[in-house]
Structure 1
Amino acid sequence: MRTAATTPERDLSGYLLVFMAGVLWSTVGLGIRLIEDAVVWQILFYRSLAMSVFLYAVIQMRTGRAPLSLIRAMGWPGLIAGAALVAAYSGAIFALQTTSVANAMMLFAAAPLMAALLGRVLLGEHVRRATWIAMLIALCGIAVMVWDKTSGAALKGNIAALGSALGFAVFTVALRRGKSVEMMPAVLLSGLIGTVVMAAICATLGLSLALSPRDAGIASGMGVFQVGAGLILYTLGSRTVPAAELTLLSMAEVVLGPVWVWLFLGETAAASTLAGGAILLLAIAGNALSGARRKVPPPIP
């Protein structure tokens, strides 16, 4: 007689770790708003430098191996993943400086669907019908969000936010291509690349790397606590949380991001941003939940 396997008891600590990672990531908009004078390239230099030092130490302690050797072992997929993250971070901070935090955060949420599409085109991965439907719904949500923001800085911010989402999608696909299960070396590489590239950009534009203690401290803190610590929590929690539910839990970043700037700085979101964001989040949640329902435990002989 064949009976269905029982579902194993869920590890609530894993869910809490992933949720807390989303909470840390959600404070990026507040951090950007608290910076007084630094521009995107200066912020990214300090954030990348602090993140690199922090992750280098963590990887060294966690693996007992030289972090640079782990980076070399990733090969071209790791290099592409690191470069894509630099593009994603650059687009994200530029977007947060030129459009509302709510608008930017909601557009960042398109990354999982972009990753699914790129995985189909570049890796030949199957895309479920529900995911195609979710992509169409998400496009409608994005259209609603940007409908009244099609000129000036707001338009540039929207394009940068979508570019950031594309960067994260490329990062995800590159990791799949390299069959890498360890995210930290790729993120460390992105920090190293970002530090060098942002220093070069600042030198080219005549921007000083000597920031006020406030701006340098906030930017460095973002590298350690938002990106670095958030990644560690996400990596640890993802060991026991199903992939579909990871998508839902990571949406805490999108939902809470606008809350912090409203709570501490009084920044509100436009009606079109809220309406389009709701449609986009509905598409992502529906896609994740439909995928979870398909995963039926195998029978026991």
Structure 2
Amino acid sequence: MFASSSNHAKGFALTALGGLTLTVDIPLIRLAGGDHWTILLLRSSTTLAVTLLIWLAWRWLRGNAPPLVPGRSGLAVALFYGLGSISFITAVFHTSTANLVFILVFNTMFAALLSWLVLGERPRTATLIAMVLMTGGVLVIVSDSIGTGQLFGDLMALASSLFLASAITVSRASGKDMGFTALVAVLLPFVLAVVMVQKTGFQVEAPWWIILNGGVIMPIAFFCLATGPKYISGPEVAMFYLLETVLAPVWVWMIFAEIPSRNSLIGGAILVVTLIVHSLWQLNQVAREIGRSNSLRFPAPLS
């Protein structure tokens, strides 16, 4: 019992650290003040370099480092993460921070839908209701961007959400360790950025911010968020992803005085509240199933 509680606390601590670290991702990208292809180049190259150094050190010290890209499923996961990174950076430069982080929350519903279509895991009625409500929230946010020039950025955010959900679904279907795959997937955006920077030129005002982001923030955030599910449930992990949704717009407001629009706040509130209620419902279902299982294994003594 003590070991189980200790592991659960460890999972909470790791995932909380990962979620909090991720909240500064967008502010650091904005602080760098560069062209989005240059930002993508610096962010992906530093992340790739640090990931390879960690993997080589692991292999040298312990000799049992997991494969960087485990087979065909690993290639598919790397492709989805790579496309997700490209669409994410594009969205940062073409829509508001609030719109971006609110729409990214929709990846949980994309994941549930893909699990139904690909893995045959039919969602329960409560999840279907949550999908409808969250779709409504996204439509409220996107409707506010029509005619403002932000619609393209919103669609890129939605695409990034879909790519992330696809990567998660393939990872679950394969059952393989994809911890490093999510990080080396930046090879695709790196190559694309190299090609584009040769055409547009290297444009960045404060490169140290994006180097800090790619070399420190991203490896820490992804490592912690990828390790957390080993100790705590999926719904609990999803709750910590909400830290970026809540805090990133706050940091951007404090630094850049960027105030979310009314529709963005309304749609975001629908998304966040729906996800919180749905996650709490999932946790309750898991607790009830564990209690039912324990009662079957250790029936009450006859009086």
Is TM more than 0.5 here?
Answer: yes
Alignment deviations for residues 132-186 of structure 1 (CA, whole Å, 9 cap, x no partner): 1110000111111122211252111111110110111111112112212x33321
Change (3 A) 1:13 1:162: same
User: Post-superposition shift, 1:279?
Assistant: 0.4
What's the secondary structure of 1:98's corresponding residue? coil
**CA deviation map 1:11-56 (0-9, x unaligned):** 33421221121122121221222122x2222211111110011111
Question: How far apart are 1:104 and its partner, in Å?
Answer: 0.8
Gaps of 5+ in 1: none
- Identical columns (%): 24
Counterpart of 1:26?
Answer: 23
Q: Aligned partner of 2:141: which letter?
A: M
Please give the residue correspondences for 1:200-215 in structure 2 after superposition, counting only pairs within 5 Å: 200-203=195-198, 206-208=199-201, 210-212=202-204, 214-215=205-206
Q: Deviations over 1:177-223 (max 9, x none)?
A: 2212x3332123312222222212333xx123x445x5432222221
Distance in 2 between residues matched to 1:51 and 1:16, nearest whole Å: 23
Q: Tell me, yes or no, if the aligned pair for 1:17 and 1:233 is still in contact at 8 Å.
A: yes
In 1: Cα distance, 2:132 partner to 2:50 partner: 40
8 Å contact from structure 2 (residues 76, 167) kept in 1: yes
Could you say what the CA RMSD is over the residues aligned between the two structures, in angstroms? 2.2
1:65: how far off? Answer: 4.6
Q: Which range moved further: 235-244 or 80-89?
A: 235-244
Give the match for residue 42 of structure 2: 46
Q: CA deviation at 1:60?
A: 2.9
Letter in 1 for 2:152: K
In structure 2, the partner of 1:226 is 217
Q: Which residue of 2 aligns with 1:89?
A: 85
Distance 1:70 1:26 in 2: 29
Per the TM alignment, residue 78 of structure 1 is displaced from its structure 2 partner at its CA by 1.0
Instruction: Please give the alpha-carbon distance, in whole angstroms, between the structure 1 residues aligned to 2:170 and 2:229.
Output: 18
Secondary structure at 1:120's aligned position in 2? helix
2:270 maps to 1:279: yes
Q: 1:122 aligns with which of 118, 143, 147?
A: 118
TM-fit CA distance, 1:62: 3.6
* Unpaired runs of at least 5, structure 2: 299-303
Would the aligned equivalents of 1:85 and 1:187 in 2 still touch at CA under 8 Å?
A: yes
Q: What letter corresponds to residue 45 of structure 1 in structure 2? A: L
| Residue correspondence of structure 1 range 283-298 to structure 2 within 5 A | 283-295=274-286, 296-297=289-290, 298=293
Shift, 1:269, TM fit: 0.8
Q: Is the 8 A contact 2:24 2:248 kept in 1?
A: yes
Pick from 236, 241, 244: which aligns with 2:235? 244
The one of 76, 81, 84 aligned to 1:80: 76
Letter in 2 for 1:294: Q
What residue number does 1:183 align with? 178
**One-letter code of the match for 1:155?**
L
The equivalent of 1:267 in structure 2 is 258
Deviation string, structure 1 residues 232-288 (Cα, Å, up to 9, x no partner): 222333322221111111110111110101122221111111111010112212222
* Aligned twin of 1:194: 189
The residue aligned with 1:216 is: 207
- Measure the CA separation in 1 of the matches of 2:277 and 2:2: 25
- The Cα shift of 1:7 comes to 11
Q: Does residue 12 of the first structure (1) align with residue 9 of the second (2)?
A: yes
Partner AA of 1:139 in structure 2: T
Secondary structure, in 3 states, of the residue corresponding to 1:184?
coil
The 3 A distance-change label for structure 1 pair 6 and 195 is: closer
Matches of 1:6 and 1:134, distance apart in 2:
35
The Cα shift of 1:66 comes to 8.3
Specify which of 135, 140, 150 is matched with residue 139 of structure 1: 135
Distance 1:223 1:81 in 2: 20
Aligned-partner residue type, residue 248 of structure 1: M
- Scaled by the length of structure 1, what TM-score is found? 0.88
Letter in 1 for 2:200: L
C-alpha displacement of 1:79: 1.0
Q: Is the 8 A contact 2:35 2:203 kept in 1?
A: no
In 1, Cα distance between equivalents of 2:267 and 2:148: 20
Q: What TM-score do the two structures reach when normalised by structure 2?
A: 0.88
